[in-house]
Amino acid sequence: MMLASTVRGLCRRSFSTSKVLAAQQLTVRDALNAALDEEMERDERVFILGEEVAQYDGAYKVSRGLWKKYGDKRVIDTPITEMGFAGIAVGAAMAGLRPVCEFMTFNFSMQAIDQVINSAAKTFYMSAGTVNVPIVFRGPNGAASGVGAQHSQCFGAWYSHCPGLKVVAPYDSEDAKGLLKAAIRDPDPVVVLENEMVYGQGFPVSDQVLDKEFVLPIGKAKIMRPGKHVTLVAYAKAVETAMLAANELAGKGIECEVINLRSLRPMDSDTIFKSVQKTHHLVTVEQGWPQSGVGSEICARIMEHETFFHLDAPVWRVTGVDVPMPYAKTLEAAALPQPADVVLAVNKVLGTK
């Protein structure tokens, strides 16, 4: 009798997890690599350039195998001169090619910001719509680990401030593949802000994601977890922070609706508005600095929309601390938002303990 009940219990358990077991695991690195490979195969105008992207297979191995497959003309190692190779890439885009310009880290994109903003982002407008600049600027963004202040900042607010650019910030493997493919196919400049801390992280993906024609729309957020008590809005690695906090809060009976922005410009305000009108509470989560941040922009949009009248408490921002990133590991952790910070923020807006 006991044996039979044990077998039934095991069967129930196996059935309850069969869907998860069936999903394939794909790392963010492999998702980005697949997106590049598929788009280069699909369109011979697509090429990659940047530091160590070819013979070394990329500083983070995102372009692994592509130089051997496509050769020197389509996977190009550049000198260490961001201003120079970003300018070459912008000119190639104006001439009708579709360059993918890799910055080893977006911190180094500051060397090329004139090319990104003044040459790429503004040309379509300044040419009265006659010159498209179909270029992708991609690479790791935000905090890494133990690399100091000048290698650890988030440029989400910087680039999403600029008209003429589209800015996406993928979190998981589905985001990475679908958004990078969309960026490469887009007729305008797209900044793809990745996070190196999740490059080696595997996420379950469906057969649809693995399909060569899988593309995500730029400008559309994703509800990662439905809820009814409070809305958590995050992007990139902060989505993980929000999800961990939501799991903890669920144990206390608080159901959080977690929104993965995916796209910072254009931003999917409608998804945020609908969620807040349901939950009546909002907490934003980001690793960037608080002043003029993405969370600040979301707060302003709520204030300027009728959704403001649906709020039962002020919007709360959870951000990185307003200091350059410390080098010491303990201080680095203290400078970044943690799940406990999100839990505290939710308790404050809900008036719970």
Q: Which amino acids are annotated catalytic?
A: 82, 151
Look at the chain and count its residues: 353
Q: Which residue, 206, 180, 269, is CA-closest to 233?
A: 269
Give the DSSP per-residue string, 174-207. HHHHHHHHHHHH-SS-EEEEE-GGGTT-EEEE-H
Dist CA 167 CA 157 (whole Å): 10
Dist CA 101 CA 186 (whole Å): 14
Total Cβ atoms within 10 A of residue 80: 11
- Cβ contact 28:178 at 8 Å: no
Distance of CA 158 to the CA centre of its chain: 14
Dist CA 218 CA 87 (whole Å): 25
Dist CA 212 CA 228 (whole Å): 36
Q: 107: which 2 tokens?
A: 């911190």
- Cβ contact 33:63 at 8 Å: yes
Q: Give 61: exposed, middle or buried? Use CB within 10 Å, 0-12, 13-18, 19+.
A: middle
Phi, psi of 315 (to 5 degrees): -70, 140
Q: 307: which 2 tokens?
A: 């959704």
**Distance set, CA 337 to CA 86, 279, 348 (Å):** 32, 23, 16
State the DSSP code for 298.
H
